[in-house]
Structure 1
Amino acid sequence: MRQRVDQALSDFLAGRRAWMTNVDEALVPVAETIEAFVLGGGKRLRPAFAYWGYRGAGGADSDPVVTALAALEFVQASALIHDDLMDRSDTRRGEPAVHRRFAARHRTAGWGGDPDGFGDAAAILLGDLCLVWSDELLHSAGLDPRAVARARPDFDEMRAEVTVGQYLDVLTQATGDTSLERAGKVARYKSAKYTVERPLLLGAALADAPTDVRLAYSAYGLPLGEAFQLRDDVLGVFGDPAQTGKPAGDDLREGKRTYLVAAAMEATDAAGRALLRAGLGDADLDPAGVNRLRELIASSGALARTEQRIVTLTDAALAALTTVDLDTEARQALVDLAIAATRRAD
């Protein structure tokens, strides 16, 4: 499945590179950067959830379906490029973030103006371009126009949800809201819904699935998407940079008000809360400072609480699959995807 998605993306990007080259040779670095970003990594979880949601609802395998679902990778790329810019992240998957890459290009060339401003502008535009291409790939894949029309509401809702979720994340960092309720809502809209639930519903719509299948997919997708985000949050604090592709403790330096942090704030004492508030969002937090916050989060019980919530949510998701009649192969694939999406990195 991953190879088929990669091939669909590669073919589409080759055509877009030719188009941009025809517009102006100066756009070649844009094409190269998006190709490297989109083709250079990623688990292809979203197309996989969409594909098996489609198959589970009785849809027949075809290359146009896989190509259409590969459009989800452009939504993901857009979100990540913009997220890295908003968080001022230096790296993504072990490589320079897009805004850093174009700032460096500006410096190397000795162009006029502010290199960082140029990098920021480029990242905004490349992220927007990926979002445009998500639409184009969905519509140009060769599907029956009636199927595309059925899928359109879920595709549009998904992109709106992740955008407002990103804003809520930025707002939460600015206001310093560390409540579990706010952390849960940000996780749902910024990541959970567009990672699992909406891709499943997109696949279901393409297959013209009945209401009971859509309801079961939501009952599976929402808790699983939240569990996936909680795993990502744990890795953002405790993960190995060799596996995450980002510096250790980056979520702490960026001031992410995650469920993990909210649980620590709720469980620790006044001194612990003060230490957390002082460290969260400190871009200059050194490794010793990261370790102090890690120890505090773990000793407060927040890490264990988060791990238990991941298990509880995943169990709820898997239980939802038993409530509806699905294709046997698709059901097993969705079970396997749930385990892959929430497993520990170690």
Structure 2
Amino acid sequence: MTVIEQRGAYRPTPPPAWQPRTDPAPLLPDPEPYRVLGTEAAAKTDPELLRTLYAQLVRGRRYNAQATALTKQGRLAVYPSSTGQEACEVAAALVLKEQDWLFPSYRDTLAVVARGVDPVEALTLLRGDWHTGYDPYEHRVAPLCTPLATQLPHAVGLAHAARLKGDDVVALAMVGDGGSSEGDFHEALNFAAVWQAPVVFLVQNNGFAISVPLAKQTAAPSLAHKAVGYGMPGRLVDGNDAAAVHEVLSDAVRHARAGGGPTLVEAITYRVDAHTNADDATRYRGDAEVETWRQHDPIQLLEHELTERGWLDEAGIEAARQDAETMAAALRERMNQDPALDPMDLFAHVYAEPTSQLREQRDQLRAELEAEAESEGAHR
């Protein structure tokens, strides 16, 4: 006999005692992306903070341009540019304290550099020279993550462990709109909300998952609305408004640090450049669309606000540009130097305790290299 066949066991509606676990109203994002620049709220922002954001945006734009040029010169294997998304990148790095952790995706090189990682070391993975290129513990920056969204559960695990230990640590995990369609995205948000882990999820919605537009990925009103289903607040922000992104992320980080649990922030932005140097973006979007977004450029928006309020003059603008050029020149010079690479480094920093298979592979490669060296020596 099934449950439905049992007399009196089937109820067409839930019992009266049923009620939602969480009131959904406070979790819902604003109907429109939150903005600061061009609004009355801009007058209340710290001018020094805005000038710092501006200098970092200019520096980041130049970094993107220089790294893209390096791919054309064969000095980088690939570079996923974040041109147009600099406001999200810079704000994500600046809202964190020294002890906090940043979990970037492969497009978030600029955030990694803004966090303090050496510009050349941040590109080492994309050059193919090292597993990561930098020490994650030095700046509390996880490795650049190429698989989509796999860094999100790691961020939750670290944040949850920190809370259990009583450490004052918040993790900020960055992901693209394409990553929100991955299973790891669901698992991370679900665990984070259940555990009330001190983690902030920043989704940079740049319109496309390579060539797939957002409308073909989800029918949700916004990606921020997905937060409600997990029981955490969702925030929607203009991702090209550096002041707004910084404010929203700061609020989310403070909320997490105070024990309030996770927040999902969706930043509406746009990838001006192609997906990578190997992508032909003209096959799936038109020039008119790109030009429309160029009119909403994060650097221009912030520069206009600063100059209109008298908080930035021509000398300040030129100083920011010169600093960016100095950085680009140093990056160019260092990247044009051929690094001294040791093939045996392939086996370093893979496991804390190397596995038997890894040791076998290491010994095999060492034997092959020694045999090759002996062969070359015999022919001299």
TM-score by length of 1: 0.27
Greater Rg by CA: 2
Identify, as 1 or 2, the structure richer in helix: 1
Q: Which has the higher contact order (CA 8 A, sep 6+)?
A: 2
TM-score by length of 2: 0.26
Q: Write 1 or 2 for the structure with the bigger share of strand.
A: 2
